Structure 1
């Protein structure tokens, strides 16, 4: 009899918990939301956060506060969200480098892969291999041939040790059987500036970031690290066309603290998917070179798991450590 009573109480408790979670979703949101962007204003994540935030305010009548919290390649902002209440009111708007930092900055108190819950992929992006036009590399074949003839001597910039551009360089060296002299910078901007100035030869740069420098003739795009040509750079060959294995694609997405009710995650996902598919929002983001492709939470989790395995292998193989 006691067992039966316990079973009934346990079942009642489960039903009550599920009902409470459902009620939370019905009332959500009842106060302002916060989007933490762990990078500077003007980045892809920042643009997505502000566009989606404006539209959420229109539909839900609750303000969305966008905060830029930089540090440790996005790690600090993500950790702040992981420590927030798991109620759906605080989200991190970040990118695939979140997976890289989980490997490079192991912590007993924060693991992005375990302490955050995916909400969705908002958009995907690509990276391009940019060179200074004055260096004489007119095609990818020119650069690869020069690197093979001068192993370890051609300068290749990155946004820092362990940054996505550094990981892409390691992947590129493996795919082309080449060796470059890695020159890490503290961020993308100073690296790009030195490629333009001719102090370094090449750098992987987000395709949407690269566009104005290509149009002005300051840089040349030798190839897009993707399986097909990109709408934002239709005249540039993809790595696949060039016979080079593309690097892991970039994603931009939303994540919530672990333990956020599934019903709240679902409500956020559905409304933000609707917003991202609005013609004006989609057009605004695609003009910056992003490919708007909203996904389910499960799709983001699967992609992160796949990237974790691949990035771990690359980082260990190349002995990459955080600064």
Structure 2
């Protein structure tokens, strides 16, 4: 038996241990906040890399090159576009997910970024856990377009032709897992047509094929084909949004003939997870200012 030694009650020991852990946690949080604020004060101190995981010439590339210079004006450091193309954007997203979360590596993504993990085997990222969202860049109406050589002038004529040709009609997309592919599948199921799908490696290659008459029809983002429509190189048959487009007010919606149909694409800007919140906020403000610029808004419209 030990005599004369003081023993603290178990309740006191428990409270002291809990208090110690609480103080340690508060110190860690305070340290993290200090480091985060310090990082934001010095940010950006060098050029910022913007990964574009799709081919040049498509909607994503156009959006990156429109907003990048405006963000540069706000941040005081250049936004450098870097192409990392492959597997419907998976290659670029995998790379961005593993980059240092310091605000110097960003990525622009399509809506397909969220569905790729269910479609491709080599996806190494979790779209929720591995990225910090910065901003929605654009939400765009898509349009069903045909080459003039197809010989149709409206949606009704196209559906009649497509049902007559069956899989003898080619329908192009920007690649497996892209919004143009998903919109095409929704359109196919809604209308009952059964064309043969032809995949291209990105929006740029798809547009070149359409304009050149290599393929007769596709559903694509409005901004990418608008000038070709105005130039008569492609014919708009219908828009996929719930309401008509202000750019093409004379063109009907698919939903007018097939109630309930709606399909739109979007682009977003992300950073690797754990990027300091003040840095994310700074990037959000820079992107918001870029999107509010009159010349950028005009070109997006």
* TM-score, structure 2 as length reference: 0.84
Partner secondary structure for residue 56 of structure 2: coil
Matched, 1:167 2:154: no
For 1:1-323, list aligned pairs within 5 A: 1-107=16-122, 109-189=124-204, 191-196=206-211, 200-286=215-301
Partner secondary structure for residue 254 of structure 2: coil
1:193, distance to aligned residue in structure 2 (A)? 5.0
1:199, distance to aligned residue in structure 2 (A)? 5.5
Measure the CA separation in 2 of the matches of 1:135 and 1:261: 53
Partner secondary structure for residue 241 of structure 1: helix
1:176, distance to aligned residue in structure 2 (A)? 1.8
| Mapped contact 1:228–1:241 kept (Cα < 8 A) | no
Measure the CA separation in 2 of the matches of 1:58 and 1:195: 36
Q: How many residues align?
A: 286
Measure the CA separation in 1 of the matches of 2:155 and 2:202: 24
Measure the CA separation in 2 of the matches of 1:33 and 1:198: 39
Partner secondary structure for residue 54 of structure 1: helix
Partner secondary structure for residue 40 of structure 2: helix
Larger radius of gyration: 2
| Mapped contact 1:79–1:112 kept (Cα < 8 A) | no
1:116, distance to aligned residue in structure 2 (A)? 1.8
| Mapped contact 2:149–2:216 kept (Cα < 8 A) | no
Bigger Cα displacement from structure 2, 261-270 vs 151-160: 151-160
Measure the CA separation in 2 of the matches of 1:40 and 1:213: 19
Structure 1 residue ranges without an equivalent (≥5)? 287-323
Query: Post-superposition, which runs of at least 4 consecutive aligned residues in structure 1 deviate over 6 A?
Result: none
User: In structure 2, do the counterparts of structure 1 residues 205 and 284 end up closer, same or farther at CA, with 3 Å as the change threshold?
Assistant: closer
Q: Cα RMSD (Å) of the superposition?
A: 2.4
Measure the CA separation in 2 of the matches of 1:184 and 1:156: 9
1:42, distance to aligned residue in structure 2 (A)? 3.4
Measure the CA separation in 2 of the matches of 1:100 and 1:275: 28
User: CA offsets, 1:273-320, max 9 Å, x none?
Assistant: 12211223322333xxxxxxxxxxxxxxxxxxxxxxxxxxxxxxxxxx
Structure 2 residue ranges without an equivalent (≥5)? 1-15
1:172, distance to aligned residue in structure 2 (A)? 0.4
Partner secondary structure for residue 279 of structure 2: helix
1:225, distance to aligned residue in structure 2 (A)? 0.9
Measure the CA separation in 2 of the matches of 1:34 and 1:197: 34
